[in-house]
Amino acid sequence: MLGVLTGLQQEAVLIRRVFPHSPVELSYASEQGAVEAMGRLQEAGVTKVLSFGCAGGLSPSVEPGTIIVADHVHVGSRDYSTDAALSRLCGRDAALSGGVLHSREMVAQAQQKRQLYQETHCLAVDMESGVVACSGLPFAVLRVVCDDVARDLPPAAGEAMDKGRVKCAALIRSIVRHPKQIPALMSLGKDASRARQAMARFLHEHQESLKTAE
């Protein structure tokens, strides 16, 4: 049985349309949340896992909307190979293949992204794939890039999130504290929308193959 670990509510909505019978758990964009979510999937009896959702771009070659089906996940100093058969069912041949870096916290600054790319040569970074990789179960990683390596994330990207959703009150407070972030927030919103649309198209185009992975 396939289980899915993702970060945010919007991502969960997308993948549940493809895997209506598979358990989907959310990390709520925290490593501890990912560990707890992975535990729930294992308690449910899953035998393979998909790490799904958005990722931050690290490589200069990726831009918002780039679909990645990883061939490995870099955790600490170790690389964990993804399952070839499950990755193929997840559309590996139609996506960019390479490494995804696991991070314990949100990577928000462009300078940090560039440094991580120099150190690991991973295409992108997220906060769930390393937990999936370390579970010991066969796994695949299907991610879409939401922000490129040149972008500093605005403060609201972290301050306005609560349990996987954007909270309007927290967003307003963040904007009041940091009004200069408004253009960056608008730009990030456009890129996030572009990423969601790209992933929705990818899932639609590969739904028959994906459903055989369930």
Q: List the chain domain ranges.
A: 2-211
Q: What CATH topology corresponds to 2-211?
A: Rossmann fold (3.40.50)
The per-residue b/e assignment along 140-179, b for 16 or more CB within 10 angstroms, e otherwise, is: bbbbbbbbbbebbbbbbbebbbeebeeeeebeeebbeeee
Quick check: 156 pLDDT over 80? no
Least confident residue range of 90-99, 126-135, 187-196, 202-211: 187-196
Residue range 127-136: average pLDDT? 97
Is the pLDDT at 160 greater than 60, yes or no? Answer: no
Residue pointed to by tokens 């040569």: 121
Calculate the average pLDDT of the chain. Answer: 90
1-53 residue pLDDT tens: 999 999 988 899 999 999 999 999 999 888 899 999 999 999 999 999 999 99
Rounded Cα distance between 20 and 37, Å, is: 18
